[in-house]
Amino acid sequence: MSPHLLQEQASASSEVSGVLSGYTSVHVFSNRAKVEDGYLTSVYSYENATVKRLAGGKYEVTPTTVDYQFKLDLNVPKTGLMLVGLGGNNGSTLAATIFANRLGIQFRTKDGPQNANYYGSVTQSSTLKLGVDENGNDVYAPFNEILPMLHPNDIIIGGWDINSSNLADAMTRSKVLDFDLQRQVAKYMANINPLPSIYYPDFIAANQSDRADNLIEGDSKWDHVERIRQDIQKFKTTNELDKIIVIWTANTERYSHIIPGVNDTSENLVKSIKSSHSEIAPSTIFAVACILDGVPFINGSPQNTFVPGCIELAEKKNSFIGGDDFKSGQTKIKSVLAQFLVDAGIRPVSIASYNHLGNNDGFNLSAPQQFRSKEISKKSVVDDMISSNHILYNDQKGKTIDHCIVIKYLPAVGDAKVAMDEYYSELMLGGHNTISIHNVCEDSLLATPLIIDLAIIAEFFSRVTYKKQDSGDEFAQFYPVLSVLSYWLKAPLTRPGFEPVNGLNKQRTALENLLRALVGLGPQNELRLEERLW
């Protein structure tokens, strides 16, 4: 990491009253931030507006301002990342990626030499606008140079899988990476073996049964919770870790039925686990185990892991959860393009999305119940965009769009998922516009950077606390549903009672502005008055 200097300007003058060195290359001068005892403390004025809808299509708007104080622990802990589904395409690719970057491996492809990198990762390969230079031109810095963040090279990898193959064999089976890279990292991965995992046949496709040779014994679901807790603690102790993050990157499960008295409250959920109720999914078992020990848990698949009782348990234990379903290729484009059309006053009336893929994810999704989980997460990505515009979507024109999702398993294409989308929209005076997109994406090479970012951002926000300025209250963690992770997730989990935000640009802006608030900067400003005024 490059040297860092964060300085607090005590007043409008150039006097510097605080210095922080040894973290990042961005030097921030602000009278709203200071460093004390290893913590960065900042004051932020959150400006918004409350709106009342009045009769006749009128609105009453009242500006609001609330002052908050944020505190960031500047110490980056030694962190372990435990994956559920460690031996799958994503898990083996992630391990290979970290080893390749950590060791500075260069490998040959048919196009020539290739150096290891973290392309596709927001935290490692994107930039964030700081402000403007003396000429009014935008200035950008690496995303991870704003504040001290975990580096993926330092992450210790472990986890569980229903298949016993070591990660070198799993990497070979996945057919994601070029042979020369596999050859060079295999010796580092061969001694990493997944821990036994949970297998409840009713929740994943029957075609996965042949892989299930590495299972936690017994039928007691509460014993399974306790076993997962023991696994996490042992991994933490053995590797001398300060913190653990757990991410589900295993098979898509079917949706769990929400049943009163079973999974609707935290108390009922725990009772149902202890009675080994048939409607408790493996992913919920992992989530509960993590919540009980305050370990952040993120669901990267589309099933409803976080049933109401699970969210309530996270609230009671003040433990971070996040989900659902990695947002990598086709859906990420949809969250941008649909937003563009609606913001442009164009009315999308149908979106037809088709894709075929040949990896094990596609094999599992060939079963109807598992496909249904994916269909729900993919369809929901445009909901908030439609609801944002009552001019285009209303009682007369209709408040929904025709949204068709098709997924087919085609072994020949392997991990190279082929996606085709058609956006059919209504223009003025009865005109129409059709946008067709053909996208071929290497599925695991898009998903793996998301896992990296989710782990890094979850760890980062576990070091952030807040309180209302001058309230006298103790500093508290963010609300347990860590919705700031929404940028990387198809069906963002939100606080009960709040509508999710799916628009990619909105999600990114919220993330950037939170980081800016922590260093004493105001929200991102695109007025560009330097250019527009005399």
Helix or strand (DSSP H, E) at 432: strand 432-442
Has residue 83 got a pLDDT over 60?
yes
Please state, in angstroms and rounded to a whole number, the distance separating the CA atoms of residues 215 and 443.
27
Contact of 411 with 358, CB cutoff 8 Å: yes
Task: Say which of 236, 243, 327, 490 is annotated catalytic.
Answer: 490
What is the maximum alpha-carbon separation in the chain?
A: 75
pLDDT for the residue numbered 253: 92
pLDDT for the residue numbered 8: 33
Q: pTM for this structure?
A: 0.92
Task: Say which of 231, 325, 384, 415 is annotated catalytic.
Answer: 325
Query: In the annotation, is 325 catalytic?
Result: yes
More confident residue, 355 or 478: 478
Give me the mean pLDDT over the 311-340 stretch: 92
Superfamily of domain 330-443: Dihydrodipicolinate Reductase; domain 2 (3.30.360.10)
Confidence of residue 15 (pLDDT cuts 50, 70, 90): very low
pLDDT for the residue numbered 493: 92
Provide CB contacts within 8 A for 516, sequence distance 6+: 146, 522, 523, 524
pLDDT for the residue numbered 22: 57
User: Which residues does residue 105 pair with via DSSP β-bridges, in sequence order?
Assistant: none
Domain boundaries, the chain: 79-120+148-326+445-514, 330-443
Has residue 14 got a pLDDT over 80?
no
Write the pLDDT tens digit of every residue in 445-462: 999 999 999 999 999 999
Give me the mean pLDDT over the 164-182 stretch: 96
Please state, in angstroms and rounded to a whole number, the distance separating the CA atoms of residues 486 and 266.
24
Termini Cα distance of the chain = 41
C-beta neighbour count of 70 within 10 angstroms = 23
Confidence of residue 417 (pLDDT cuts 50, 70, 90): confident
Compute φ and ψ for 195, nearest 5 degrees. Answer: -70, 150
* Domain spanning 79-120+148-326+445-514: CATH 3.30.1180.20: no
Dihedral of alpha carbons 49, 50, 53, 58, sign: negative
Task: Say which of 374, 378, 421, 443 is annotated catalytic.
Answer: 374
Please state, in angstroms and rounded to a whole number, the distance separating the CA atoms of residues 454 and 456.
6
pLDDT for the residue numbered 10: 31
Smallest Cα–Cα separation from 381: which of 351, 407, 406? 351
Has residue 11 got a pLDDT over 60?
no
Say if residue 415 is preceded by a cis peptide, omega within 30 of 0.
no
pLDDT for the residue numbered 229: 98
Has residue 1 got a pLDDT over 60?
no
Write the pLDDT tens digit of every residue in 283-304: 999 999 999 999 999 999 999 9
Query: In the annotation, is 243 catalytic?
Result: no
Please state, in angstroms and rounded to a whole number, the distance separating the CA atoms of residues 201 and 281.
10
Please state, in angstroms and rounded to a whole number, the distance separating the CA atoms of residues 193 and 40.
39
Compute φ and ψ for 302, nearest 5 degrees. Answer: -85, -5
Task: Say which of 236, 243, 417, 443 is annotated catalytic.
Answer: 417
Q: What is the CA radius of gyration of the chain?
A: 24
